[in-house]
Amino acid sequence: MVKIFRAVAALSLTVVGLVALPTAAQATAGLNGAYYATGTNPGSNSGAISAIAGKTPTATFIATAICFPNCSGGNSNDSDGLASWLNGNATNISATVANLSQHVLDLTGYVSIATAGSHTFQLGSDDGSALFIDGVQVVNDDGEHGVAYASGSLNLTAGLHSIRIIQWENGGGTALSATLDGNALTSSVLSTSAVPEPASWAMMIGGFGLIGVALRTRRRRPTFA
């Protein structure tokens, strides 16, 4: 009976120990959004990146679809404010922003590529914008202009790739939309980090737990005296 108790205790410790594995922040579907009121005209994509380096965002949010205010070519007046511009395509907006003139928007996270091969990204923006995959610029839609489009393609392996989208505005009206292979970039393929979501952790923990059970059972087979 003592040996049986020790075997059960060992199994319990194995499973409980595995539950403590996830220590990093868990992923959320969408991209991390950071809005910066710059107070001056960023002027270009490079100027926008320089303008926000080391700065604290005016507001943050989770972008669930890159369609601001929509994915059909529309734009918003700067006086509409941030929440109106995001137009239901974002959650957890941290602050109220009443005017959108002279800003930089920075979206970061990961995009899931289902199949290896050549993939095309497109941006539509007012004013300028740029898209980076794994740190490499793929789309350049720079300059002060109304809603204008630019695209770029590259070969990608299947799986997660880091993505960053920069958009900036001087004054008047503003817009940003993004597509992957002709489809709007949405939370179905976007995540805020590469850490598995809670459901994925549960599956991993369950699998490791079963392995632990099997190994412990082999090592400590109960005997009956």
> What are 62-89's pLDDT values in tens digits?
999 999 999 999 999 999 999 999 999 9
Q: Are residues 119 and 88 in the same domain?
A: yes
Strands (DSSP E) contained in the chain are: 31-37, 59-63, 67-68, 76-77, 90-91, 103-113, 117-126, 129-133, 136-141, 148-156, 159-169, 173-180, 183-184, 190-191
The tokens describing 47, both together, are 């100027």
Whether residue 53 is contained in a domain is answered as yes
pLDDT tens digits, residue range 9-53? 443 333 334 333 444 457 899 999 999 999 999 999 999 999 999
Q: Find the CATH number of the domain harbouring 86.
A: 2.60.120.1560
Looking at the fold, whether 8 and 105 belong to one and the same domain comes out as: no
Quote the domain boundaries for residue 35: 31-194
Q: Tens of pLDDT along 200-210?
A: 444 444 444 44
| pTM, to two decimals | 0.79
Together in a domain, 182 and 128:
yes
* Same domain? 68 vs 94: yes
The number of domains in the chain is 2
